[in-house]
A and B are shown apart, each in its own frame.
Chain A
Amino acid sequence: MSAAAEAHGHGHGHGDANLHPPPIHYSSRIAPQIVGIFLFIGSEIMLFGSFFTVYFFDRVVNNTHPWPPIDPSTGHQFERPWFVALVNTCILVTSSFTMHWATVSIKRNHRAGLQAGMVLTILLGLTFLLTQVIEYHRLGFNTGDTSFAATFFGLTGLHGCHVFIGLVILTVMAVRAFRGHFSPEHHHGIEVGGIYWHFVDVMWIVVYVTVYIL
């Protein structure tokens, strides 16, 4: 019969034990990888929040009438291409579907579904980005044309950057999927990438409603 205490808490005031960091103490409620992506998304929300703050400051505090304001170069209101953006929204929402399909497929050990889901998600993401670039070219105004234009490009451009980063992540995931890296038991790479992609989708819905519709 013996009793033994584990080493937690040792080292306070015991010579060189203080040279080492304390033992890791973390909750088992949630996997560290998920905590990581959650913190990352938290910081992203703060980043988008700062851009939205600028947008609403310009819109509400500056009290610009009408909204969108008058373009000084043409004398007409700025036009927001809400219909093209709506099509783009549908494309991005569809990509969330294909992403979810990919995740469900690997959970069911359906590798072809995973690969097809990843490829379709990447293609839809690329289409979204390409459409946005074309939309920028046809807008008729640029970042320097009033604060409205600056905030418009700021918010949509920030989101576009996130889509680009998401596409890089998706590409890595797809390459790994084609190399047979994931399994029903081990697919954190897909899970975490999927969470990021859905987050990008959620942010676009907020950006679309705020910038193009309201």
Chain B
Amino acid sequence: MRNPFRTEEEAFRFVWLTILYSGLIVAGSFINAWVGLGVFVVETAAVSWWILSRGRRERPVRQIPPPHPEGERRILVVANETVGGAELLDEIRRRSQGVKEHVLVVVPALNSPLKHWTSDEDDAREAAQQRLEASLAAMRKSGIEARGEVGDSDPLQAIEDAIRTFAPDELIISTHPPERSHWLERNVVGSARERFALPVTHVVVARAEAGVPAGPEQAPSR
């Protein structure tokens, strides 16, 4: 859902919508009290449906990356359990050839819905931090310069946050194969291609490298 008081302009628009909303109820109630009640119910249902459906279509503001020095390439890597996979490391190496690469690895702190809604995310962030450190060690071994951070539990939100601070030239999303990937089931890659104005590469890692701890046991729904 989109906050109607996000900006002064939207709040101003909300004033007019309130006038329209109230005006129709008043007009209905002048005919009959029950007509007024009916208008209120119909309007409220329509507005609720509109807000919820509009919220799902909301797009983030597209970011324009700042100019980078000649020959520099910024690669944003988003992965969870597959973060140390050989396929991913190969892809990063391939992308880094002939340029001075800057790699930011973001590992979303995946959490169960119950823990997410109760703000119990310490364990999820701790586990994500461990996966991140293990993957950075694997990258270091492969000769890839990288830094990393734990991101939002929602992978798309984690990507958006990183785009704003890191301004990447491209995005690599690493997942398990389709039969065992929650992210593919939720169309994270497709949504990222739709939402973000930068090249998105999808890498499927058949088996994560040994030493990278697994994610939470419960299927993350966010």
* Stretch of A72-80, A156-164, A189-197 that contacts chain B: A189-197
Q: Is the CB of A103 within 8 A of B36?
A: no
> Which chain A positions have C-beta within 8 A of B132?
5
Q: Is the CB of A34 within 8 A of B11?
A: no
Q: Is the CB of B5 within 8 A of A206?
A: no
Q: Is the CB of B5 within 8 A of A209?
A: no
Q: Is the CB of B26 within 8 A of A209?
A: yes
Interface: B139 (CB within 8 A): yes
Q: Is the CB of B129 within 8 A of A1?
A: no
Interface: B194 (CB within 8 A): no
Q: Is the CB of B125 within 8 A of A9?
A: yes
Q: Mark A8-25, 1 if CB is under 8 A from B, else 0.
A: 111010000000001001
Q: Is the CB of A27 within 8 A of B152?
A: yes
- 8 Å CB interface, B142-176 against A: 143-150, 152, 157, 160-161, 164-165
Q: Is the CB of A34 within 8 A of B14?
A: no
- 8 Å CB interface, A14-71 against B: 22, 25, 27-30, 34, 37-38, 41
Q: Is the CB of B11 within 8 A of A195?
A: yes
Q: How far is the CA of A146 from the CA of B187 in the complex (A)?
A: 60
> Which chain B positions have C-beta within 8 A of A191?
7-8
* Stretch of B17-25, B64-72, B212-220 that contacts chain A: B17-25
Interface: A111 (CB within 8 A): no
Q: Which of B9, B36, B129 contacts A100 (CB 8 A)?
A: B9
> Which chain B positions have C-beta within 8 A of A202?
11, 14-15, 18
Q: Is the CB of B122 within 8 A of A213?
A: no
> Which chain B positions have C-beta within 8 A of A8?
125, 129, 149-150
Q: Which of B3, B25, B26, B164 contacts A38 (CB 8 A)?
A: B3
Q: Mark B10-47, 1 if CB is under 8 A from A, else 0.
A: 01101100110010011001000000100000000000
> How far apart are B209's CB and chain A's nearest CB, in angstroms?
14
Q: How far is the CA of A25 from the CA of B116 in the complex (A)?
A: 14
> Which chain B positions have C-beta within 8 A of A198?
5, 8, 11-12, 14-15
What is the chain B residue whose CB lies nearest that of A104?
B9
> How far apart are B172's CB and chain A's nearest CB, in angstroms?
16
Q: How far is the CA of A214 from the CA of B29 in the complex (A)?
A: 7
Q: How far is the CA of A213 from the CA of B160 in the complex (A)?
A: 47
> Which chain A positions have C-beta within 8 A of B110?
none
Q: A5-B133, A194-B8, A214-B26 are in contact. Are A30 and B15 (CB under 8 A)?
A: no
Interface: B208 (CB within 8 A): no
Q: Mark B118-129, 1 if CB is under 8 A from A, else 0.
A: 000010011011
Sample (5) of A-B pairs whose CB atoms are under 8 Å apart:
A22-B122, A190-B8, A191-B7, A195-B5, A206-B22
Across chains A and B, which 6 residue pairs bring their CB atoms closest together, nearest first?
Answer: A9-B129, A194-B8, A198-B11, A3-B140, A3-B136, A100-B12
Residues of B within 8 A of A (CB): 3, 5-9, 11-12, 14-15, 18-19, 22, 25-26, 29, 36, 60, 122, 125-126, 128-129, 132-133, 136-137, 139-140, 143-150, 152, 157, 160-161, 164-165
